[in-house]
């Protein structure tokens, strides 16, 4: 397990975490704020949760912005970044955590739209706010990261393929990011206990979580995985720009 960030180690830094009104994103915000970073809490439709989180982290003495934005809507994303620039002046850490694709009632192309196109758009539109020395963290799963070599559950395959497509598209931007002095890292985790995705997978395929837990020996929970994401925002970047969290024995 990673060591928590030292209090004050991110003092003066400004961080935005997409999809951070709950779950992994919310815990990542808390950890960054506990280390002294000013934070932007982004949500799509959970405003009360986002406001509650903001109130909690402000008690730590940091600034917190709550901004609703649909990452699949370019205008919405543009408005979000305009507010960030107005209030914070820029960003030092961008965590691309928001993802989806298993929700009911969405179009067939929604997973690709959110997990690939929206991720690239969110990063490209953030470039004017990201100076030299800033860092971008993309959050994914082993089931997606290794989808080309290791099959996953049929219920999750469309999401896994779309997230891998998003990862590939973001990696193509690494040369440009490097030229700008912006660092980039992918954080890939095994199935995470207590997430919406795990709940939906369990509903579609009862026993899936227990089966994966038995195979891996341990599954990270939301807080443990968030700690790895927070560390990825400050730790040295691995040579392949990839931080693997949890067991990878069955992947490759």
Q: What is the pLDDT of residues 149-171, one digit of tens each?
A: 999 888 889 999 999 999 999 99
- Please state at what angle helix 157-171 crosses helix 118-126, rounded to 10 degrees: 30
**Chain position carrying tokens 């700690």:** 227
Assess contact for 117 and 100: CB atoms under 8 A.
no
Assess contact for 183 and 237: CB atoms under 8 A.
yes
Say what the pLDDT of residue 1 is: 65
Q: Is 121 helix (H, G, I), strand (E, B) or coil?
A: helix
Between residues 29 and 157, which one has the greater pLDDT? 29
pLDDT at 200 over 90: no
pLDDT 10s digits, 34-43: 999 999 999 9
pLDDT 10s digits, 120-145: 999 999 999 999 999 999 999 999 99
User: Nearest CA to 44 among 12, 13, 59, 22?
Assistant: 22
pLDDT at 196 over 70: no
Q: Is 43 helix (H, G, I), strand (E, B) or coil?
A: strand
Enumerate the H helices of the chain as residue ranges: 23-34, 47-58, 74-88, 110-112, 118-126, 142-145, 157-171, 174-180, 196-204, 208-216, 222-232
Say what the pLDDT of residue 216 is: 63
Instruction: Name the CATH superfamily for 14-245.
Output: NAD(P)-binding Rossmann-like Domain (3.40.50.720)
């Amino acid at each position: 397990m990673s060591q928590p960030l030292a209090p004050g180690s991110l003092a003066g830094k400004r961080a935005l975490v997409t999809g951070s009104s709950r779950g992994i994103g919310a815990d990542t915000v808390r950890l960054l704020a506990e280390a002294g970073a000013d934070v932007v809490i982004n949500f799509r439709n959970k405003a009360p949760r986002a406001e509650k989180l903001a109130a909690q982290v402000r008690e730590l003495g940091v600034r917190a912005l709550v901004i609703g934005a649909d990452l699949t809507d370019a205008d919405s994303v543009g408005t979000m970044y305009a507010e960030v620039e107005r209030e914070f002046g820029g960003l030092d850490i961008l965590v691309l955590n928001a993802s989806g694709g298993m929700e009911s009632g969405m179009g067939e192309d929604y997973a690709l739209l959110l997990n690939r196109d929206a991720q690239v758009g969110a990063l490209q539109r953030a470039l004017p706010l990201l100076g030299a020395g800033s860092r971008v963290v993309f959050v994914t799963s082993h089931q997606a990261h290794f989808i080309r070599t290791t099959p996953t559950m049929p219920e999750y395959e469309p999401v896994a393929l779309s997230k891998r497509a998003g990862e590939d598209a973001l990696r193509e931007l690494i040369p440009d990011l490097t030229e700008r002095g912006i660092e980039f890292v992918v954080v890939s985790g095994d199935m995470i206990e207590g997430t919406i995705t795990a709940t939906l997978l369990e509903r579609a395929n009862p026993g899936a979580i227990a089966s994966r837990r038995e195979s891996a020996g341990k599954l990270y929970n939301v807080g443990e995985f968030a700690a790895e994401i927070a560390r990825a925002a400050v730790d040295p970047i691995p040579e392949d720009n990839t931080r693997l969290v949890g067991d990878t024995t069955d992947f490759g």
